[in-house]
Amino acid sequence: MKNRLTVCASHLITLPSAPFGPVREAIATARDAVTAFDPELVVFFGTDHRRAFRSVVPTFAVVLEATAQGDVAGPVGSYDVPSALGRSLVADLVAGEFDVATAYEAALDHAFGHTTRDLLGAVDATPVLPIFVNCASPPHATFRRAASLGRRVGEFFADRRVLYVGSGGLAHDLPGFREPETGEVLTEEERQAWIRSVNEKARSEGTIRELVRTWDEAFLAGVGGTAWEWLDSIGADLVERGGNGAAECLTWTAAWAAGGQPLRTLAHEFDTGGRAVAIS
């Protein structure tokens, strides 16, 4: 039996308002594969939408205790996090010269919650070790650095039956994340009102980016192999080519490198942005 499986997926793809198309069907296929694989541990590379990490935004962080915020109709509850294993991973990453943070507790948003529920059924169904990757508050890591982190994580868990998950992307543009990070804490109601206002302003000023699918196709081709040469070019002019939301694919990149195997795209859709599901 193989001891590693990688699944990467856009989040929010099973909301009632999301399209009923190939990507929604593909997440069900991925869920069946996860069930058959029966992981002893899920290592989840996810991001945050400026909810969980406020006064300090680390580039990478291993989370030792986590709850689900339940935002955007997401799940609530506590993750089953193997904290002792997380501490050991942090020590190994620091020994490998990665400046990784330890998050002793974090209330994770839908970047983790939706995909966990989509693949596992509930946030506490299987032990999950969350690894936060900053994708929303520039400057963020390069794609090569995310891959390097993922490879080290994969080496650490080489003797375990692990499901690696990356959640986010693909190309999309979020006007609200163009504003510099301030660390301000908002209620969810205040946050949603602010998002509506900046989106309306972007539409009225004509600053919504018209993205095309070429960035998605290049990224999916990259994770569809095992070579690393593409990692430098994929991040060039990222905001112009893929929108600021494309940085969420740093999570895919880390999971891809951790699993060490090519990803097969089960489905990819593109309208004003991209969404996809891929599996090793």
**Is-catalytic flag, 110?**
yes
Options 49, 114, 140, 172, the catalytic residue: 172
Question: HEC string of 130-182?
Answer: EEEECCCCCCCCCHHHHHHHHHHHHHHCCCCCEEEEEECCCCCCCHHHHCCCC
The active-site residue out of 110, 114, 140, 268 is 110
At 271, which amino acid appears? D
Compute the distance between CA of residue 235 and CA of residue 142 in angstroms, rounded to an integer.
Answer: 7
Is 114 an annotated catalytic residue?
no
Strand order in the sheet with 41-46: 101-103, 60-63, 128-133, 41-46, 162-167, 4-9, 274-279, 264-270
DSSP letter string, 171-230 = S---GGGGSPP------HHHHHHHHHHHHHHHHHHT------THHHHHHHHHHTSS--TH
Active site residues: 110, 172
